[in-house]
Amino acid sequence: MTPRGRRPAGGDTRGAIAAAAREEFADRGYDGTSMRAVARRAGVDPALVHHYFDGKPALFAAAMDLPVSPSALVAGILEGDPACLGERLAQTFLRAWDDPANTPHIVAMLRAGMTHDAAGRMLREFLTTEVFGPVARAARPDDDPSVPLRAGLAAAQMIGLATLRYAVPHPPVADAPADEVARRVGPVLQQHLTE
């Protein structure tokens, strides 16, 4: 079916695509959403979605109005010594989350994820597919069947940390310097990821 005649007029094609992506992610989760399906929902040619967004993670970041692209952060985490993956993971995310421009987004996403099934599914799929999965795979042999559980438990540590640092601020966790938290959480993530 050609979507001709439904392409939004005027200049906000990019915004219309992001809005369609928001609905598609909410309906189908992160893993079940394709760039093609978003194009169909927005009534535009798939090439246009690829023109505006450099892949599904970028589309997700725009749909969720994230001020920072998680994929760029993950690329930085994967570079460098594999023995320090955990510490880079903790440091990178603490630095991004501590930025006052980002903290309210983190809190809103945690709350939505905890109270709305669709938001929760979308978030956990995004986090494991685009963030913790790639990091765990980089740390382990290709055929290691424990990778999904390792990635999930590392994600659990970071979700709990975000909860007690931002959403339900617990002073010892919320007020500790980011470097000290990263120094303590880094080796723990490393253990989850590599044993």
- Which residues of this protein are in contact with a copy of itself, per CB under 8 A? 110-111, 113-115, 120-121, 123-124, 128, 148-153, 155-161, 163-164, 167-168, 170-173, 176, 180-181, 184-185, 187-188, 191-192
95, 177 in Cβ contact below 8 A? no
CB of 51 to a copy of itself, least distance (A): 33
Of the pair 40, 192, the CB lying nearest a copy of itself is at 192
Q: Inter-axis angle of helices 147-162 and 103-115, to 10 degrees?
A: 120
Complex with a copy of itself: residue 20 or 123, whichever CB lies closer: 123
CB atoms within 10 A of CB 91: 20
DSSP designation for 8:
P
Virtual torsion, Cα 174, 80, 136, 31, nearest 10 deg: 90
Q: Least CB distance from residue 164 to a copy of itself, whole Å?
A: 5
Q: Which is nearer to a copy of itself, 44 or 151 (CB)?
A: 151
Residue with tokens 């980002």: 102
CB of 50 to a copy of itself, least distance (A): 29
CB of 156 to a copy of itself, least distance (A): 3
What CA–CA distance (Å, rounded) separates 51 from 14?
9
Please identify, using beta-carbon distances, which residue of 72 and 174 lies nearer to a copy of itself: 174
